[in-house]
């Protein structure tokens, strides 16, 4: 049965129930702002492509599964390279590694569409290679990983962000880097959650006044216990790790500190 205007709960706190025509009008008004946001993003992307570049030594060595190799090899013969710089904690079990970086790496397990556009992808981290290799094996990652321990910027240096490079023959150039929420394009789950009624469930989000969205905390979906409960307690680990063989309830995180 179709609802009439008298059936509609227009006084419902936070999210009133309306008829389809009223909903469509509100949706169309929001669409105007969404399209403006998209165009602004396109303009920013164009400005990124206009940024100047920094040349660096392409022979700088990193370490992979077959030992040391020049950074230039990470391009795999392509002219563009996108790298995620994964934070690392030495002498720490998988559940103690950075949950934010784990989230990014989990979402970027396949670079086939980047490759189709002539872009290679790799993950680098400052961990010693033997520890990194064990972590990669536990997580089941298939991306190329490399250790940049002791290597300066722009190949190594600070971790926790995306960076892009351009190759011209045997020369390499840094073209762009980001950090913080600038990493979000690598995690499409966040954009999808932004489309849902309750959003991401993070404490900083705005919600309709009087709404019933569950209370959240920053990064709540990054770490859970074995039963899927969001927690930063001693029995938690990055959410994706619970799908791995041998992932059992933990008694220690192996380090201190919340998400980064």
**How distant, in Å, are the alpha carbons of 117, 185, 222 from that of 191?**
23, 8, 15
pLDDT at 256 over 50: no
Non-local CB neighbours of 124 within 8 Å, separated by 6+ positions: 62, 83, 84, 85, 86, 145, 146, 147, 148, 155, 156
pLDDT in tens, 38-55: 999 999 999 999 999 999
Contact by Cβ (8 Å): 147, 62:
yes
| Closest residue by Cα to residue 100 from 159, 144, 147 | 159
- In which band, very low, low, confident or very high, does the pLDDT at 2 lie, cut at 50, 70 and 90? very low
The CATH label, of 3.40.50.2030, 3.50.50.60, 3.30.2270.10, 3.40.30.10, for the domain at 50-184 is: 3.40.30.10
pLDDT in tens, 103-126: 999 999 889 999 999 999 999 999
pLDDT in tens, 232-250: 877 888 988 988 877 777 6
Question: What pairs with residue 61 in β-bridges?
Answer: 70
Find which of 96-105, 111-120, 184-193 is predicted with most confidence, using mean pLDDT. 111-120
Q: Is the pTM of this model over 0.85?
A: yes
Which value, to the nearest 10 degrees, does the dihedral of the CA atoms of residues 31, 37, 43, 47 take?
-160
What share of the chain has pLDDT > 70, as a percent?
Answer: 86
Contact by Cβ (8 Å): 107, 191:
no
Q: What is the mean pLDDT of residues 62-80?
A: 98
């Amino acid at each position: 049965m179709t609802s009439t205007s008298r059936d509609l709960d227009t006084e419902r706190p936070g999210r009133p129930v309306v008829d389809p025509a009223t909903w469509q009008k509100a949706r169309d008004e929001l669409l105007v702002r969404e399209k403006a946001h998209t165009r602004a993003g396109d303009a920013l992307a164009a400005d990124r492509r206009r940024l100047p570049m920094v040349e660096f030594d392409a022979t700088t060595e990193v370490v992979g599964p077959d030992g040391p190799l020049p950074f230039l090899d990470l391009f795999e013969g392509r002219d563009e390279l996108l790298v995620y710089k994964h934070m690392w904690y030495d002498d720490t079990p998988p559940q103690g590694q950075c949950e934010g970086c784990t989230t990014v790496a989990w979402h970027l397990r396949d670079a086939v569409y980047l490759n189709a556009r002539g872009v290679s992808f790799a993950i680098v981290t400052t961990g010693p290679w033997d520890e990194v290799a064990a972590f990669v094996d536990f997580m089941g990652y298939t991306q190329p990983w490399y250790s940049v321990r002791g290597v300066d910027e722009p190949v190594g240096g600070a971790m926790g962000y995306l960076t892009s490079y351009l190759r011209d023959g045997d020369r390499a150039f840094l073209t762009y880097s980001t950090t913080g929420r600038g990493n979000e394009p690598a995690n499409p789950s966040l954009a999808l959650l932004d489309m849902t009624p309750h959003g991401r469930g993070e404490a900083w989000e705005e919600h309709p006044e009087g709404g019933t969205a569950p209370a959240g905390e920053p990064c709540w979906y990054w770490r859970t216990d074995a039963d899927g409960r969001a927690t930063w307690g001693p029995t938690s680990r990055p959410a994706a790790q619970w799908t791995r063989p041998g992932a059992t309830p933990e008694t220690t995180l192996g380090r201190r500190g919340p998400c980064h």
